[in-house]
Amino acid sequence: MTGTPRKIAGLSEVAHLYDGYILDLWGVVHDGRRPFANTIPTLKELRRAKRKVWILSNAPRRASTVVRGLAAMGIGPELYGGVHTSGEETHIALRDGYLAQWGRNCFILGAPEDEKVFDGLDVTFVRKPQDADFVFNTVHDLTMEKYIPLLELCAAKKLPMVCVNPDRIVHEGNVPVMCPGALADMYEKMEGKVFWFGKPYHAVYRRVLAALGAENVLAVGDGMQTDIAGASGAGLDSALVVTGIHRGVFSGNENQLQEFFKSHPYGPAYLLEGLIW
């Protein structure tokens, strides 16, 4: 959908139109530290209304890890049908083909705990790009410039890059933090080959829609390039949470907002202040 989206106060305004919901995680359900004030009440209302809910996240984590993290925030599995992540999708793709194709020596650009995506897989972690068959990108940092020398080494060896999170930016509280997608963009400019997993790519939607089993589905997210583009590509209506990634645009004037929507070949059906019933 393109044009000016409809502003709604909460999902209850359009709940009669949708029996299924795909919810983004960071920026919609929580802020990276805690749930938003309306998250749990809204999930309870969706459950009361017998709506089907799945969470689809670009988190570079296995789905089971995210489930445990949500429970620690007070969001129990009784409040949603399931979770799928870009980390889980990456694990499946590596297991089912890419490791056999590329080799099993992996150089990680990211935190050591991100190795958990490889649990159960026959992978050797190496310390230098020169020893690697592929590079695994989970970088989550304030800036990306310090990674340029390592990217140049990876590009020189023509290593395929696995980008386990296509997001370019998130907000930790009110602090903007760069995500793996931003590093992958830099690698592509060096003529490196990137294999992207997660939103907006259709594989994750196909898997979630099959599990969701709903007729009419609304996707709720805060990123145009991932959530809204992905929903559009999957043929779904979407709602954009305006207090997330693009909060700066929505604090500007009306002309700025119109230009923002015109600059994208896709758009949300609705605008929401948050995950509000």
* pLDDT 10s digits, 122-142: 999 999 999 999 999 999 888
pLDDT at 1 over 70: no
Beta bridge partners of 52: 20
Q: Report the percentage of the chain scoring pLDDT > 70.
A: 98
DSSP 88: H
pLDDT tens digits along 55-70: 999 999 999 999 999 9
**What pTM value is reported for the model?**
0.90
Looking at residue 171, what is its pLDDT? 78
Q: How many CA atoms lie within 13 A of 207 on its CB side?
A: 21
Looking at residue 2, what is its pLDDT? 54
| Maximum distance among all Cα pairs of the chain, rounded to whole angstroms | 56
CATH fold of 102-196: Rossmann fold (3.40.50)
Q: What are phi and psi of 83, to 5 degrees?
A: -130, 135
pLDDT tens digits along 187-204: 999 999 999 999 999 999
- How many C-beta neighbours within 10 Å does residue 173 have? 9
Q: Are 182 and 207 in contact (CB under 8 A)?
A: no
pLDDT tens digits along 75-95: 999 999 999 999 999 999 999
